[in-house]
Amino acid sequence: MQTLSLQQADLIRILQSRHTKTAIRVINLLLVIWIASMLATLTWDLLSPEEAVEQTETVTETAALPVSPDRQLISQMPAWHLMGVAKQGNQPVQTTTSLDAPETKLKLILKGALASTDPEHARAIIADPRGKELQYAVGEKLPGNAELSEIHADRIILKRNGRFETLRLPKDKKSSNTVASRSVRARPTASPQRRLNNARQQLKKGANLANLVRATPKRGKGGKTIGYILSPGRDPDLFTQVGLQQGDVAIQINDIKLDNPTNSARALKSMQSGDSVSVTVLRGGQEQIVSLDWPE
């Protein structure tokens, strides 16, 4: 008992010493700082849980994207322009202007049309009131303060005073084309010479060349047009009987090279007026000449 009392007295003496009191104050200060830090962290977590969740989700999604090829493809698809890139300027919009375009009152005559899926290659031959014939491209000015907006197989769409108007092939020419087409369908056994004569009459009366053959621009190096890929038109038998074959590339007609839209319009004009037609085609990598003698 006496030993225990002595130890307690020593302990009390140690605790009451100046150095011991300083150490206790330091320990108490550290405990206060640690408790304050813990309380601050807990308070921050309680007040902003949604932000922490959003950051976690964002990091998770960002980390998941690189391992998902399908997501990458979907995100890149808008930049591929799968439906093509719309050209600005004079490119015709076939489904809008044609629906609201009354017949024009201008004294113009549509003599011929070279329609194309590429508006830059389309041409129209138009006669003014004095009978002067000129060829026009989409976007060019026409007599009567009008602008050529679209070129179709049987008509053109022009823009005048902010409104769209239609100029068609003359009715007698359209009816002649219809009669010729009906004649071919009603009498499939008609001679090639007779059908060839009908074809020439269609051309002379201003019908579009697409009534006889289908032509698609063929481009070479640098995107330059070198000719037109030919395929049968409304009369496949006549197409083959005159010596043409599916896939022939017409590069020249009557010594006129088909390397630009202007020459193509000139070649069409020469087919209307001449007694014969000489077509140079590329077939199997070799040039061949197909000659047509129009029947009288």
pLDDT digits (tens, 9 = 90+) for 79-129: 433 334 444 444 444 444 445 789 998 989 988 887 777 778 788 889 888
- Distances from the Cα of 250 to the Cαs of 115, 200, 267, 283, in angstroms? 16, 18, 11, 9
Average pLDDT, the chain: 69
- pLDDT surpassing 90 at residue 166: yes
How does residue 174 score in pLDDT terms, banded at 50, 70 and 90?
A: very low
Q: Two tokens at 130?
A: 């004095």
Q: State pLDDT tens for residues 124-152.
A: 889 888 888 888 889 999 998 899 999 88
Q: Is 183 helix (H, G, I), strand (E, B) or coil?
A: helix
- pLDDT surpassing 50 at residue 178: no
The secondary element (H helix, E strand) that includes residue 119 is: none
Evaluate whether 97-168 and 171-293 have a shared fold.
Answer: no
For the chain, the structural domain boundaries read 2-47, 97-168, 171-293
Domain formed by 97-168, architecture? Roll (2.30)
Task: Name residues whose C-beta falls within 8 Å of residue 124's C-beta, 6 or more positions apart in sequence.
Answer: 110, 112, 113, 114, 135, 136, 148, 151, 156
Give the position of tokens 């051309």.
203
How does residue 265 score in pLDDT terms, banded at 50, 70 and 90?
A: confident
CB 151 within 8 A of CB 122: yes
Who wins on pLDDT, 28 or 189? 28
In terms of Cβ atoms closer than 10 Å to its own Cβ (0-12, 13-18, 19+), residue 257 is: middle
pLDDT at 91: 43
Sheet holding 109-114, edge to edge: 109-114, 123-127, 133-136
pLDDT at 6: 53
Q: What is the mean pLDDT of residues 6-14?
A: 61
Q: What is the pTM of this model?
A: 0.39
pLDDT at 164: 92
Q: Is 59 helix (H, G, I), strand (E, B) or coil?
A: helix
**DSSP label of 22:** H
Q: Given this structure, which CATH class describes domain 171-293?
A: mainly beta
